[in-house]
Amino acid sequence: MTHKDWNDNKIENLLGDMPDIQDNRPESEILARLKQDERLNVPRRKKAKKWMPALVAVAALLVIGLLIPSMFGGEDTATQMDNAAESKMMKSDKSADSSAAEAEPETASLAEENMDMGAMNRSSIMAADETGGIRHFAVYPEDVIDSTLFHLGLAGDQALSIPVTFIIPNSRIKDDFGSMKPTSYDLYKKYADRIDESALGFQEYHPFKGDLAADNHIIIHQLPKDHGYDISAASMEVYKNSLQDTFFGYQEARFENEDGTAAIFSEVGQPSPPLTLKSGLNHSNYYMFEQQDGQQFLSSNFSQPQPTLDKALQQMKENLNDVFLPVIPRDIDFEVISDGEVTLIKFSRPLDLDAMESEKAMQLVDGMLLTAASFGEQLQFENVVQEEWNGFDFSQPLPIPVGSNPMPFILE
């Protein structure tokens, strides 16, 4: 016996501390009794090594239990010792069985719990495209059949607005608006305060503080005192970009105090001019942004406009900062050829999308199409290995996205 709790010396000391005993029974009788005791006939298990010291200890107790009655001449004592030893053995045996039998259910339970959490934070938010199993980062016209788009700029981790798109079934729109066709302002007023932003992995930002009104093609935001949107240049940028990402179909946003006078932002120090709203035609290129929870989105580089589509696309190979990552690998070269209504992207070498990680390939395609859409242009790819891939037909001009980063419509 080599276990640190039950070694030879310890057992010898234990037995040595006991008083001398006299047992007049023949050794053969004692041995025969031990052999007939079923409690010592413990079957061997494949994983019983770590329980062996406990079984040895119980066996030692049984031996002592058989010898002690002879010393005291009391059968009641022998029965008590036998019961105690049997109880210990049953507990030890049960512990070994339960450890092996219950380990799998417990592990399964934890796995199911993690899967449920993952389903809420990942699968429900980042649904894969049914046709190819790859999540799209853009919304296309075919996705909006019998549905209405609700654009919204959500506050991301890095003090920026992430443009997302909710696809609301028209049956829900009919229930909420009747025969009326809602504008982006109507959708915002109806749903913004009920969007579960934290469940989607974003900061709680909406609805905007103060009062919003719409006058023809103008959004009017009456700001309360201490609204906090101008606490820093970064917060001001998030605020204005969120307005930009939300109110499609309007021409400008005006800023007023509660008394109707022009609002003065601390970052500017003078009455703020109206913000021109561009309804997604921002002339911006798209990069990959990853939230702290691992969710990935396509977003512009802090809404920085680009002079031409060619420069915007070529720049998408560059690593501009630590916040946004390029979606086009640096070794992929292409030429941008403007040809009337469709802009041709001619790759220098055959572009094999299946040779890339599926999500990165999807970000490349969606990112380029979103960038072209921000210029109001349509793309066609030339020299792609796959003629069809994840719902795209590369033998034809590709569809123009109508939104970015589709999200589930989760309301509180």
Do 40 and 89 belong together in one domain?
yes
CA atoms in the 13 A half-sphere facing the CB of 304: 12
Structure-token pair, residue 96: 């070994």
Beta bridge partners of residue 168, listed in sequence order: 148
| Per-residue model confidence (pLDDT) at position 177 | 98
Asked whether residue 29 is domain-assigned, the answer is: yes
| Per-residue model confidence (pLDDT) at position 268 | 72
| Per-residue model confidence (pLDDT) at position 98 | 43
Do 267 and 173 belong together in one domain?
yes
Do 154 and 256 belong together in one domain?
yes
| Per-residue model confidence (pLDDT) at position 107 | 37
Domain span including residue 352: 305-400
Mark which of 276, 293, 327 sits at the end of a domain. Answer: 276
| Per-residue model confidence (pLDDT) at position 339 | 80
Do 196 and 88 belong together in one domain?
no
Do 172 and 256 belong together in one domain?
yes
Asked whether residue 32 is domain-assigned, the answer is: yes
Do 245 and 323 belong together in one domain?
no
Structure-token pair, residue 332: 């992929």
**Residues 6 or more apart in contact with residue 224 via CB below 8 angstroms:** 209, 210, 258
Asked whether residue 116 is domain-assigned, the answer is: no
| Per-residue model confidence (pLDDT) at position 45 | 37
| Per-residue model confidence (pLDDT) at position 125 | 42
Asked whether residue 289 is domain-assigned, the answer is: no
Asked whether residue 405 is domain-assigned, the answer is: no
Do 80 and 150 belong together in one domain?
no
Do 310 and 396 belong together in one domain?
yes
Do 208 and 310 belong together in one domain?
no
Bridge pairing between strands 378-384 and 342-351:
parallel
- Is the pTM higher than 0.95? no
Do 272 and 174 belong together in one domain?
yes
Distance of CA 255 to the CA centre of its chain: 36
Do 325 and 393 belong together in one domain?
yes
| Per-residue model confidence (pLDDT) at position 31 | 58
Asked whether residue 30 is domain-assigned, the answer is: yes
Contact by Cβ (8 Å): 386, 355: no
- Work out how many domains the chain is built from and give that number: 3
* Low-confidence residues in the chain, pLDDT < 50: 1-4, 42-132
| In the block, residue with structure tokens 């190819």 | 132
Contact by Cβ (8 Å): 81, 63: no
Mark which of 55, 86, 106 sits at the end of a domain. Answer: 106
CA 184, 187, 192, 195 torsion-angle sign = negative
Asked whether residue 412 is domain-assigned, the answer is: no
Q: How far apart are CA 361 and CA 137, in angstroms?
A: 11
| Per-residue model confidence (pLDDT) at position 23 | 59
Q: How far apart are CA 237 and CA 231, in angstroms?
A: 11
Helix-strand-coil split of the chain, %, nearest 5:
40, 25, 40
Do 144 and 257 belong together in one domain?
yes
**Residues 6 or more apart in contact with residue 188 via CB below 8 angstroms:** 150, 152, 207, 212, 246, 247
Mark which of 276, 292, 323 sits at the end of a domain. Answer: 276
Asked whether residue 326 is domain-assigned, the answer is: yes
